[in-house]
Structure 1
Amino acid sequence: MKSQDIIVLLKLLSLQDKELTKGPDKLRSESLGGDPYSVRNLEALLGISKTEIAQSIKRSVASGIARKDSRTNEPRPHRRNLFEFITHGLRFVFPAQVGPIQRGVHTAFAAPMLQELLVSGGTYNYVWPYSAGREMGQAVDPLFKSVPEAALKDERLYEYLALVDAIRLGNQREVDLATDHLKSKIMSK
């Protein structure tokens, strides 16, 4: 697996969530070429090349973290397996690298949708370095270089990625809280 595989899988989750709330026709009308799950559309939304997205999907299907839909042949994350990998293996395979204070986009529990979940005194906010970002905080290398832009385009993806970073960065209390929140998001569908 590569780190961008997680981003592609989380984007696929986000698309599935939108499909369930908006309906498939509305989701298709908002996508390039009408297919939200196409590598072309995913490239535009994630800033990852079509070749890398296609290879990512192949790796994810081969590992059992994703599958191809039997009717549409669209890639679908296997929610339980993805959740298990994120909560039990991700921090060891793709550990978070924390750097100096920089300008960027908030992540982990500093992300806007997660700020109310954890009150912690005396800690720095974490950010993904991003030149157009408006927040200051301790830099955290994102799973892939295009994460800040992709997250700003999709609030659901942003929340998933922030929770993943909370699991990668946090102490046990924070990891448990992020895991519970992620479980409610991924497993409830």
Structure 2
Amino acid sequence: MKSQDVGLLLKLVCLQKQDTQVLRNSAEQRVRVPNEWRDWGETEEDKVLQKMQLQLTDNIELLVERYSVRALAAETGISKSQVSLSLQRMMDVGLAKRDRRLDIPRANISLLLDFLTSGLRFVFPARAGELTRGISTSFAAPVLEGKLMSAGELPMVWPDAKGNTKGLSVDPLFKSATLAIRRDPEMYAMLALVDAIRLGQPRERNLAVSMLKKRMETGL
């Protein structure tokens, strides 16, 4: 297993949550994503991507296309060849499976949660590094803001020249994570919670696990 495999599985979860919303609601009923989820200055690319997301309807062909190797590579920053290999690895071990109706890859939510809860921090550990500018993660990220007292500690950040926060650098779970989160607010939230599991003490990990479980299971 590679760390990018976990990132790809989380992306599949995000897509599945979006699909459920699309199939339940018309385009007019979907709630627009507020700008507050970003910890960087909004770029023109962000605006274009948001417009594309709002144009998504219940067109099944378009929905299925988002699960193609090409589309997953574009969304995560992982190369097409690596996306293909990653999907095969995850299906071999049961962490991903094929949707029988649509023939698209789906994450096995229960098994993925088991791994994130019990194995992630041992297989893909993380530690704080030097002071730098970047995008907030772990308990400094918007998804966890105000959930625990920080006692004045410096925030954890993924190094990024366009980030808004100055803090201690943390290597993201996979190399292109900061690209992937710019395309999906739910991906940002989940990766930040994953970092809280990788970096936190028991009480912090338990909170992050609880929040991640709720987000992954809600709407599926």
The 1:151/1:183 distance shift into structure 2, 3 A limit, reads: same
Q: TM-score, normalised by structure 1?
A: 0.93
Deviations 1:120-172 (A, max 9, x none): 21222000111221211110001111111211221000111000000000001
Deviations 1:9-52 (A, max 9, x none): 000100000111123962768x6x96110111111111110010
Q: TM-score, normalised by structure 2?
A: 0.80
Runs of 5+ unmatched residues, structure 2: 25-55
- In structure 2, what is the Cα distance between the partners aligned to 1:59 and 1:141? 23
* 1:23-172 equivalences in 2 (<5 Å): 23=23, 26=57, 35-172=65-202
Check the 8 A contact 1:48/1:146 in 2, yes or no: yes
Whichever residue aligns with residue 171 of structure 1, its letter is Q
- In structure 2, what is the Cα distance between the partners aligned to 1:140 and 1:53? 24
- In structure 2, what is the Cα distance between the partners aligned to 1:81 and 1:140? 26
- In structure 2, what is the Cα distance between the partners aligned to 1:154 and 1:27? 19
- In structure 2, what is the Cα distance between the partners aligned to 1:152 and 1:27? 23
Whichever residue aligns with residue 6 of structure 1, its letter is V
Asked if residue 182 in structure 1 is aligned to residue 198 in structure 2, the reply is no
Higher relative contact order (CA 8 A, sep 6+): 2
Q: How many residues align?
A: 188
Runs of 5+ unmatched residues, structure 1: none
Check the 8 A contact 2:158/2:171 in 1, yes or no: yes
Whichever residue aligns with residue 140 of structure 1, its letter is V
What do you get for the CA RMSD once the two structures are aligned? 1.9
